[in-house]
Amino acid sequence: MSNYSKVSITKEARTELHDILGLTGAEISVNNLPAGAGVPFVHSHKQNEEIYIILEGKGSAVIDDETVELNAGDIVKVAPAGKRQFSAAADCGITYLCIQVKGGSLEGYTATDAIM
């Protein structure tokens, strides 16, 4: 068995990598919203925080009734209880990664988790 998985993604509206890569500690999705489109629901989480990485385009997120403008290169972390909804700009689509992990679960990272 290999110690890695590799996939290529397309411009589908949403690609969830949990099942495709066999993820065991995070959920990652790649999301593409065309100009003027938005996620059709507001949501929060019980335990999981989300990190949004804006790859291309522009748009906005409404988080707890506050509008946050988004542009390529922006990164936003939303606590589990934060109520969120994302939209593309009227004149431009947006592509973003959403990384979902259990809040407070990180025990080691980078050098502290590396075995040299």
Which CATH number fits the domain that encloses residue 43? 2.60.120.10
Structural tokens at position 29:
């999705």
User: Is the sign of the CA dihedral 110, 76, 85, 83 positive or negative?
Assistant: positive
Domain extent at residue 47: 22-103
pLDDT in tens, 5-63: 999 988 899 999 998 999 999 999 999 999 999 999 999 999 999 999 999 999 999 99
Whole-prediction pTM: 0.92
Compute the distance between CA of residue 90 and CA of residue 68 in angstroms, rounded to an integer.
Answer: 15
Q: Decide: 16 and 50 in contact? Cβ < 8 Å.
A: no
Residue 112 counted as domain residue = no
Query: Can you give the pLDDT at residue 1?
Result: 58
Is the pLDDT reported for residue 2 higher than 90? no
Residue for token digits 């939209």? Answer: 87
Is the pLDDT reported for residue 113 higher than 80? yes
Residue 110 counted as domain residue = no
C-beta atoms surrounding 23 within 10 Å: 14
Residue 45 counted as domain residue = yes
Looking at the structure of the chain, the number of domains it has is 1
Q: Decide: 7 and 17 in contact? Cβ < 8 Å.
A: yes
